[in-house]
């Protein structure tokens, strides 16, 4: 049977305690590696944040330097309630004088009053044929069918005998006419309206009853309409085109929306006018201002981060994660250089300070609103100052410079990629050394336990021998003592 052993039993030594203390000493280099790993990971995170902030500055600068921003247009109207304006990117810059003589309208009809909309037996089976077209003449003298449109026949069965069911059948037919029911003190009336405005979207209705009682006011006959003859339906509004003038040029439209009346400019006619409405289309200065404010905010986040990470706090005796780092300090210097170097790209402005953007003592930027507004009032020169892609830094716009700096540092062969690779290599080496040391520590502990196990056995044997010798000497001493006394 195998014996049960425990370290230290033979010698009385605290073997486990001794080995634990020895291994703690052996692990000190590993602890140092783990501490280094923590610092490296913190530095990787810090540089990742710095990279992200610089990327944001580059992207904001790039958007200010792009055609997309400067092609944005803003339209203004001296009477927005009468004529509103929408502009597309790249719309023709200019001014327009608009007068509205007539709004486009849809034809509307209403029937006589019937009983409630759900009252049965108000209509019999038959058809309603709806044809789109223009009522011509003044007064009306003819009807011209709409080009490309086909008359639509709405079939009603004996079960479609309520006003509500007739409404639903018309709406489901897609005939270019919308039906609704209007209730008043006299009863329920069927109201019909062209789905689109414009003279060509008028309509006439022909009714045919399967069993005609000969009374025009009854059944489906009551829903027929022809402006050239007698009709039970009442014409409330005639379909008409919008009539307007733009810079003295007469314009006619089936819609109240004059799409691309000039390149990228759409006018929405909303009421007739008694005088000209002045429309202006210009570069969207508000969008430029917002883009600049966004850039300054992004720049300040980068500048503040750099300042915090590179400073040394005397009070706490602690340094920022990038204190003394060449890349971070170099970036601070390059950002200041971009701002401080004058530009010849504009003939009106040479520095960002000329349009209200100045650098503060802490490295951040501030905006003087009135100076920026003055710059926005001269958009062509402001664009040159900011967005010009020159042959050299001196004749380039400031936003182009920031974009170029960001591209240089963040590119494939840029400083940030080099630093990221360097940090990753250090982490890889650290991980490899930790793995090697962990294996060595396991081997060291096994060796120590084996040595102390041997020592424990040897000391146990020596202890037994010592006890035996002590017993023998004691016995011999007792023998001589007894003999002397005898």
Q: Write out pLDDT tens, residues 178-216.
A: 999 999 999 999 999 999 999 999 999 999 999 887 788
Say if residue 300 is in the same domain as residue 331. Answer: yes
**Residue at 425 is within a domain:** no
Say if residue 43 is in the same domain as residue 82. Answer: no
Of 182, 150, 177, nearest in space to 164 by CA:
182
Average pLDDT, the chain: 88
**Inter-residue contact 89 to 72 (CB < 8 Å):** yes
**Residue at 19 is within a domain:** no
**Residue at 470 is within a domain:** no
From 229, 258, 283, give the residue that closes a domain: 283
Q: Write out pLDDT tens, residues 71-103.
A: 999 999 999 999 999 999 889 899 999 999 999
Place of tokens 């055609």: 67
**Residue at 302 is within a domain:** yes
**What three-state secondary structure class fits 371?**
helix
Say if residue 320 is in the same domain as residue 246. Answer: no
Say if residue 167 is in the same domain as residue 188. Answer: yes
**Inter-residue contact 335 to 329 (CB < 8 Å):** no
Say if residue 179 is in the same domain as residue 89. Answer: no
Q: Write out pLDDT tens, residues 259-299.
A: 988 899 999 999 999 999 999 999 999 999 999 999 999 99
Q: Does pLDDT of 27 surpass 70?
A: yes
From 351, 377, 411, give the residue that closes a domain: 411
From 380, 411, 442, give the residue that closes a domain: 411
**The two structure tokens encoding residue 126:** 């038959």
- pLDDT for 435: 82
Say if residue 319 is in the same domain as residue 331. Answer: yes
Say if residue 197 is in the same domain as residue 263. Answer: no
**Residue at 60 is within a domain:** yes
**The two structure tokens encoding residue 253:** 């439209």
Of 280, 296, 291, 288, nearest in space to 376 by CA:
288
Of 397, 463, 418, 441, nearest in space to 64 by CA:
397
Strand boundaries in 162-238, DSSP class E: 177-184, 187-194, 202-209, 234-237
Comparison of pLDDT for 217 and 285, the residue scoring more: 285
**Mean pLDDT on 44-63:** 89
**Residue at 473 is within a domain:** no
What's the number of domains the chain is made of?
3
Say if residue 115 is in the same domain as residue 220. Answer: yes
User: CA-CA distance, 112 to 186, in Å (whole number)?
Assistant: 9
Residue 427's Cβ-count burial label (10 Å; 0-12, 13-18, 19+) is middle
pTM of the complete model beyond 0.75: no
Eight-state DSSP code of residue 192: E
Q: What angle do CA 325, 330, 332 make, to 5 degrees?
A: 105
Phi, psi of 118 (to 5 degrees): -105, 10
**Residue at 92 is within a domain:** yes
Comparison of pLDDT for 426 and 409, the residue scoring more: 409
**Inter-residue contact 427 to 43 (CB < 8 Å):** no
Say if residue 300 is in the same domain as residue 404. Answer: yes
Say if residue 292 is in the same domain as residue 382. Answer: yes
**Inter-residue contact 287 to 376 (CB < 8 Å):** no
- pLDDT for 108: 98
Domain limits for position 137 = 108-237
Say if residue 116 is in the same domain as residue 97. Answer: no
Place of tokens 């291994």: 23
**What three-state secondary structure class fits 181?**
strand
Say if residue 290 is in the same domain as residue 386. Answer: yes
**Residue at 20 is within a domain:** no
**Inter-residue contact 100 to 267 (CB < 8 Å):** no
Strand boundaries in 346-397, DSSP class E: 357-359, 365-367
């Amino acid at each position: 049977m195998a014996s049960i052993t425990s370290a230290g039993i033979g010698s009385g030594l605290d073997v486990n305690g001794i080995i634990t203390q020895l291994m703690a000493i052996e692990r000190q280099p590993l602890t140092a590696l783990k501490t280094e790993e923590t610092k490296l990971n913190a530095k990787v995170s810090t540089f990742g944040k710095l990279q992200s902030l610089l990327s944001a500055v580059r992207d904001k600068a790039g958007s200010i330097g792009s055609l997309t921003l400067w092609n944005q247009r803003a339209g203004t109207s001296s009477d927005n309630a009468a004529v509103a304006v929408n502009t597309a990117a790249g719309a023709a810059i200019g001014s327009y004088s608009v007068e509205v003589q007539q709004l486009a309208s849809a034809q509307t009809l209403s029937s006589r009053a019937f009983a409630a909309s759900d009252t049965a037996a108000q209509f019999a089976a038959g058809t309603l044929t709806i044809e789109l077209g223009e009522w011509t003449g003044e007064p009306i003298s003819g009807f011209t069918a709409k080009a490309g449109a086909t008359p639509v026949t709405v079939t009603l069965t004996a079960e479609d005998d309520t006003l509500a069911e007739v409404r639903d059948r018309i709406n489901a037919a897609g005939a270019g006419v919308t039906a609704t029911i209007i209730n008043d003190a006299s009863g329920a009336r069927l109201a019909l309206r062209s789905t689109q405005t414009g003279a060509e979207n008028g309509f006439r209705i022909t009714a045919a009853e399967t069993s005609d009682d000969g009374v025009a006011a009854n059944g489906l006959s009551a829903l027929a309409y022809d402006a050239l003859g007698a009709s039970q339906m009442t014409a409330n509004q005639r379909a008409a085109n919008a009539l307007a003038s733009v810079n003295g040029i007469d314009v006619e439209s089936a819609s109240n929306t004059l799409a691309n009346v000039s390149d990228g400019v759409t006018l929405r006619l909303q009421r007739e006018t008694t005088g000209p409405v002045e429309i202006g289309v210009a570069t969207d200065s508000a969008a430029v201002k917002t883009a600049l404010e966004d850039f300054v905010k992004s720049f300040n986040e980068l500048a503040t981060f750099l300042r915090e990470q590179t400073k040394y706090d005397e009070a706490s005796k602690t340094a920022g994660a990038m204190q003394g780092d060449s890349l971070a300090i170099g970036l601070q210097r390059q950002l200041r250089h971009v701002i401080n170097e004058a530009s010849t790209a504009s003939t009106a402005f040479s520095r960002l300070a000329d349009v209200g953007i100045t650098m503060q003592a802490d490295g951040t930027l501030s905006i003087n609103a009135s100076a920026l507004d003055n710059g926005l009032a001269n958009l062509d020169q402001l664009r040159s100052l900011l967005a010009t892609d020159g042959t050299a830094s001196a004749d380039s716009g400031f936003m182009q410079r920031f974009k170029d700096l960001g591209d240089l540092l963040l590119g494939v062969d840029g400083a940030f990629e080099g630093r990221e690779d360097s940090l990753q290599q250090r982490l890889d080496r650290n991980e490899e050394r930790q793995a090697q040391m962990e294996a060595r520590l396991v081997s060291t502990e096994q060796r120590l336990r084996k040595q102390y196990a041997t020592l424990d056995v040897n000391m146990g044997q020596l202890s037994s021998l010592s006890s035996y010798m002590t017993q023998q000497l004691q016995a011999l001493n007792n023998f001589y003592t007894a003999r002397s006394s005898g």
